Structure 1
Amino acid sequence: MTVAGNGTQPGATPAGGGCYARTAPALAILLGSSVWGLAWYPYRVLQLWGVDAVSSQACTALIALLFLGVIYRRSFASLTWSWLLPGVALAGGITNVAFVWGTTHGHVMRVLLLFYLTPVWTALFAHWVLGERLTARGAALIVLALGGAGLMLWSPAMGWPVPNNAAEWAGTVAGAAFAMNNVLFRRISQSLPDVRPGMRSWVLYLGCLAAGLLMLPFDGGLASGAAAVTALTTDMPAAAVAVALGCAVAVTNVIVQFGLERVPANRAALIMLFEIVVAALSSWWLASEGMGAREIAGGLCIVAAGALAGILPEPKRCKSATAGDAMV
C-alpha cells in the first residue's frame, strides 16, 4: 500500500553496509506486501467455517493487539494524550474493517484497486489537515487515478462509473480511511515526536478491535458474533487459522517497520505495489477471479498514480506515516 514514510532519516542504512544491510530491508517490505496480498484468502476460509468478516477481523485485531502489546510493552510510557491518537485508531479501524469486508465479499482485485485510489484522498486530506497546497503534480495524479477508476468501473449497462456493489464501496472507503491514517501519522510525527512507532501500531490495532465490535451489529449482529465464538472455540482448524492470521499480521507489522526504517520512502512505495501482483495472482489461482482488458487498463492507471506518488519528489513534505501500520 502507499507509503508515506516512517519518521526516520530517509535512506538510512545500518552501519557497516554490506549486501545484507542493502537487501534485507527491501526484502522485509516485499515480504509484508506478499502477506497482505494473500491476507484476503484466510478471511474467506474463516467465513466458510462460520466466522464472518467483521468477527474475524475483530479476532485477528485482538490477537495482533496482544502480540504488539507484549513486543512493545516498554514503549507504553511514550504515549501521551492527543486527539490525533483517537483519530488514528478511528481511521485505522475503518480501514481494516472495510478492507477485510470488501475483499471477503467482493472481487479481490477490483476492491484492492479501488483501495489504491489513496493518492486522491491523501492530497485532499493533506490539504485539509496539514495545510499542504495542492500542486499541479498532485492534481495530475488525482486525474490519472480517477480516470483509471472511471475506466475500470464504467460500462454502458451500469451508467456512471461508480462502485457497483457494497464490497467495492467498502474498498473505496478503506482507501480513503487509509489516506487519512497516513496524514494523521505525519501530523503525529510533527506534534508528538516522542510517541514511538510501536505505540502508533498498538493504538491503530486498538481502533481495529473497537471498529470490529462496533460494526458487528451491521454484519449479522449478536448471532454472527455468537456463531464466530462457537466456531473458534469448537473448531480447532478455525481457531488455528485465526490465531495464525493474527500473529502473522502482527509479525508482518514488525518486519515491515524494520524495512521502512532503512529504505527511502519513495523506494518503499514502489516495493509496496507488489501487493497488487500477489493479490492478482492469488485471486486468479485461488478464487478463479479474472479481469477484462478495460479493467486491467483502468487498474494500471491507478497503479501508475500510486507509483508516481512514490517516485516524484514532494518538496517540504514531512514523510512520517508508516503504511504498514494500517494493514489487515
Structure 2
Amino acid sequence: MTVAGNGARGLASTSGASLRARAAPALTILIGSSVWGLAWFPYRLLAQWGVAAVPAQIGTASVALLLLTLVYRRSLGTLRWSWLLVGVAFAGGATNVAFVWGTTHGHVMRVLLLFYLTPVWTALFAHWLLGERVGVRGVGLIALALGGAGLMLWSPALGWPVPNNPGEWAGAIAGAAFALNNVLLQRVSQALPGVRAEMRSWTLYLGCVVGGLLVLPLDGGAETGRAAVSALTSSSAIAALALALGCTIALTNVVVQFGLARVPANQAALIMLFEIVVAAMSSWWLASEGLGARDIAGGLCIVAAGVLSGILPDSGRCKSATAGDAMV
C-alpha cells in the first residue's frame, strides 16, 4: 500500500508538472494579448501630454529595438540581405504605425475589430504570394468577416460600408499589413531558414522605427517631432512612461516568442483574440467608449471568422503563429 500510495502521489505530481508545462506557453500568449489590448491607453496618455502618436511609436519602437539588440546580439550574425526581410520590415512598420495612430485617434474597439479582418487579407495574400488555394472554406470565412465589417460600418446616412474616419482606415490598413507580415514571415521561414526567429522581431522593430520616420510628415512633421522631444525632455514622468512602454513591448515580444514556439499555431491564434476582450473592457472603463447593437453584431461576425479560422485549419493555409512578432 505504501508503494502504491507513493506511486499515486508521484503520478499526480508528474501530471501537475505536465499541466503546468503545457499551460505556461499559453499563459505567455495570453499575457501578450492583454498587453496589446491595453497598449492604446499609454499611447493616448502620451498624446495628451504632447507626444503625438507617430513620434511616440518611433520612441517606443526604438527602445524595443535597442533592448532586442542587446538581448539577441549573438543572433545578429544570422541576418542575411533579402527583399523578403525588407518586406517584413515594411509590413511590420506599417502594422505598428497604423495600429498606434488608429487606436490613439479612433474608437478603440471599432479600430481593433477592423484590424482583426486579418483572415480576409491572409487568405488573399497567401493566394497571391504563396500560391495557396482559397477554397470554399476560405471564401466562407472571408464572407463572414466582410459581412460583419459591413454590418458595423454601414448606415443610411453614410452610404457604403467603408471606414468612416481616418482612425478606422488606419485600423483596416494595420490589419492588411499584419496579414502581409504573417505571409512574408512564412516565406522567410522557407527561404531563409538560417535566420533566427528573434531576428524576425528585430527586423520588424527596425521597420517600425524607419516606417515611423517616413510617415512623420503626415502627423505634423518636424513640428510634431520637436514637440515630442520637448515633452520627453521636460518631464521625467512622460519620459518614464515612454521608456516603460518600450521596455514592456520588448519584454512582451520575448515572452510571447516563448509561447509561440510551444503552442500550435491555430491555438495561438485563438488565444490572441483575448486582446479584443481586454480592449473592450479597458476602452469602456478608461475611455467611456461603448458599442451599439449593430457594432456588437458585426464585431461578433469578425471574431467568429477568426475563431473558425483557428479551429477549422486548412493544411495548406498560411499559419499565424508568428502573429506575435508584429504587435505594438
- Tell me the TM-score normalised to structure 2 length: 0.94
Say yes or no: does 1:287 pair with 2:319. Answer: no
Corresponding residue number in structure 2 for 1:52: 52
Q: Unaligned stretches of 5+ in structure 2?
A: 1-15
SS at match of 2:268: helix
Distance, in Å, in 1 between the alignment partners of 2:77 and 2:260 is: 23
Q: Deviations over 1:239-283 (max 9, x none)?
A: 000000000000000000101111111111111000000000000
Distance, in Å, in 2 between the alignment partners of 1:95 and 1:190 is: 22
Q: Deviations over 1:72-97 (max 9, x none)?
A: 10001111111100000000000000
Aligned counterparts, 1:110-125, within 5 A = 110-125=110-125
- Residue type of the alignment partner of 2:308: L
Distance, in Å, in 2 between the alignment partners of 1:213 and 1:181 is: 19
Corresponding residue number in structure 2 for 1:265: 265
Distance, in Å, in 2 between the alignment partners of 1:19 and 1:321 is: 21
Aligned length, in residue pairs: 313
- Residue type of the alignment partner of 1:113: L
Aligned counterparts, 1:68-107, within 5 A = 68-107=68-107
Contact persistence 1:186–1:321 (CA under 8 A): no
Distance, in Å, in 2 between the alignment partners of 1:92 and 1:191 is: 19
Between 196-205 and 315-324, report the one with greater CA deviation: 315-324
SS at match of 1:291: coil
Between 318-327 and 137-146, report the one with greater CA deviation: 318-327
Corresponding residue number in structure 2 for 1:4: none
Corresponding residue number in structure 1 for 2:209: 209
Q: Deviations over 1:11-66 (max 9, x none)?
A: xxxxx962221111011000000000000000000001100000000000000000
Distance, in Å, in 2 between the alignment partners of 1:40 and 1:320 is: 23
Corresponding residue number in structure 2 for 1:306: 306
Corresponding residue number in structure 1 for 2:277: 277
Corresponding residue number in structure 1 for 2:316: 316
Give the CA RMSD over aligned residues.
1.1
Distance, in Å, in 2 between the alignment partners of 1:17 and 1:114 is: 40
- Residue type of the alignment partner of 1:313: P
Q: Deviations over 1:200-249 (max 9, x none)?
A: 00000000000111111110110100010111111111100000000000
Q: How many percent of aligned residue pairs carry the same amino acid?
A: 74
Distance, in Å, in 2 between the alignment partners of 1:172 and 1:71 is: 33
Corresponding residue number in structure 1 for 2:139: 139
Contact persistence 2:60–2:246 (CA under 8 A): yes
- Flag as ranges the 4+ runs of structure 1 deviating above 6 A: none
Q: Unaligned stretches of 5+ in structure 1?
A: 1-15
Distance, in Å, in 2 between the alignment partners of 1:181 and 1:77 is: 22
Contact persistence 2:260–2:322 (CA under 8 A): yes
Corresponding residue number in structure 1 for 2:5: none
Distance, in Å, in 2 between the alignment partners of 1:68 and 1:101 is: 23
Q: Post-superposition shift, 1:315? A: 1.5
Q: Post-superposition shift, 1:320? A: 6.8
Contact persistence 1:64–1:247 (CA under 8 A): yes
SS at match of 1:299: helix
Q: Which has the higher helix share?
A: 2
* Higher relative contact order, structure no. (Cα contacts within 8 Å, ≥ 6 residues apart): 1
Aligned counterparts, 1:224-243, within 5 A = 224-243=224-243
Distance, in Å, in 1 between the alignment partners of 2:185 and 2:173 is: 18
Q: Post-superposition shift, 1:321? A: 5.0
Q: Post-superposition shift, 1:318? A: 5.4
Distance, in Å, in 1 between the alignment partners of 2:56 and 2:165 is: 22
Say yes or no: does 1:177 pair with 2:177. Answer: yes
Distance, in Å, in 2 between the alignment partners of 1:17 and 1:306 is: 31
SS at match of 2:149: helix
Distance, in Å, in 2 between the alignment partners of 1:267 and 1:312 is: 11
Which entry has the higher C-alpha Rg, 1 or 2?
2
Corresponding residue number in structure 2 for 1:10: none
Contact persistence 1:154–1:160 (CA under 8 A): yes
SS at match of 1:157: coil
- Tell me the TM-score normalised to structure 1 length: 0.94
Contact persistence 2:126–2:317 (CA under 8 A): no
Contact persistence 2:126–2:318 (CA under 8 A): no
SS at match of 2:314: coil
Q: Deviations over 1:173-200 (max 9, x none)?
A: 0000000000000001110111111100
Distance, in Å, in 2 between the alignment partners of 1:299 and 1:221 is: 34
Corresponding residue number in structure 1 for 2:38: 38
Distance, in Å, in 2 between the alignment partners of 1:63 and 1:150 is: 38
